[in-house]
Chain A
Amino acid sequence: MVATRYETVFDLYPYARVAGQSGPVQRHPVVIVGGGPVGLALALDLGQRGTPALVLDDHEGAGLGSKAICFAKRTLDIATRLGAGQKMVDKGVVWNVGKVFHGQGKIFEFNLLPEDGHLNPAFINLQQPYFEKSLFEAIETAQANGAPIEIRGRNQVTGVTQQEDLVTIEVDTPEGLYRLDADWLIACDGARSPTREMLGLSFEGRVFEDNFLIADVKMKADFPTERWFWFEPPFEGAGQSALLHKQPDDIWRIDFQLGWEIDREREMEPERIRSRVDAMLSSQSGTVPEYDLEWTSIYTFQCRRMQRFRHGRVLFAGDSAHQVSPFGARGANSGVQDAENLAWKLDLVCKGISDQALLDSYAAEREHAADENILNSTRATDFMTPKTEISQIFRNAVLDLAARASFARPLVNSGRLSVPSVYDGFPLFGEDALQGPAVSRPGAPCPDAPVGDGFLLGNLTGGFTLLALGEIAVEPVRLEAIETRLLHLTDLSPELRARYMGSSLGAIYLIRPDQHVVARWPAFDAAAIERALITATGETLV
Chain B
Amino acid sequence: MSLTLDPNIHDPDDFYQELLEAHEHLSKAESDALNARLILILANHIGDREVLRAALVAAK
Stretch at the interface among B4-12, B13-21, B31-39, B48-56: B31-39
Tell me the dominant secondary structure on chain A's binding face. helix
Separation of A273 and B41 alpha carbons in the complex (Å): 40
Q: Which of the residues B32, B36, B39, B44 comes within 8 Å of A407, measured between beta carbons? A: B44
Instruction: Give the dominant DSSP class at B's interface.
Output: helix
Please indicate the chain A residues that have their CB under 8 angstroms from the CB of B36 in the complex.
393-394, 396-397
**In this assembly, does A401 line the interface, its C-beta being within 8 Å of a C-beta of chain B?**
yes
**A407 contacts across to B, CB distance below 8 A:** 41, 44
Whether A400 contacts B41 by the Cβ 8 Å rule is no
Of the candidates B32, B33, B39, which one forms a contact with A400 in the assembled complex, judged by CB atoms under 8 Å apart?
A: B33
Closest A residue to B44 by beta carbon equals: A407
A398 on interface, CB distance cutoff 8 Å = yes
Q: Is the CB of B33 within 8 A of A408?
A: no
Chain A residue numbers with a CB within 8 Å of B44 are 407-408
Q: How far is the CB of B56 from chain A (nearest CB, A)?
A: 13
* A411 CB–B CB distance under 8 Å: yes
Q: How far is the CB of B2 from chain A (nearest CB, A)?
A: 23
Kindly list chain B residues whose C-beta atoms are within 8 Å of the C-beta of A408.
Answer: 40, 44
**Which residues of B have CB within 8 Å of A400?**
33, 37
Q: For B39, list chain A residues within 8 Å (CB).
A: 394, 397
Neighbouring A residues of B40 by C-beta, 8 Å:
394, 397-398, 401, 408, 411
Q: How far is the CA of A367 from the CA of B37 in the complex (A)?
A: 37
Q: CA separation between A401 and B44, bound complex, in Å?
A: 12
Which residues of A are found within 8 Å of B41, using beta-carbon distances?
Answer: 401, 405, 407
Q: List the interface of chain A (C-beta within 8 A of B).
A: 390, 393-394, 396-398, 400-401, 405, 407-408, 411
Given A390-B32, A401-B41, A408-B40, 20 further pairs, Cβ under 8 A: A393-B32, A393-B33, A393-B36, A394-B36, A394-B39, A394-B40, A396-B33, A396-B36, A397-B37, A397-B39, A398-B40, A400-B33, A400-B37, A401-B37, A401-B40, A405-B41, A407-B41, A407-B44, A408-B44, A411-B40
The 7 sampled A-B contact pairs (Cβ below 8 Å) are: A390-B32, A396-B33, A397-B39, A400-B37, A401-B41, A405-B41, A408-B44
The 4 closest A-B pairs by CB, nearest first: A397-B36, A407-B44, A397-B37, A393-B36
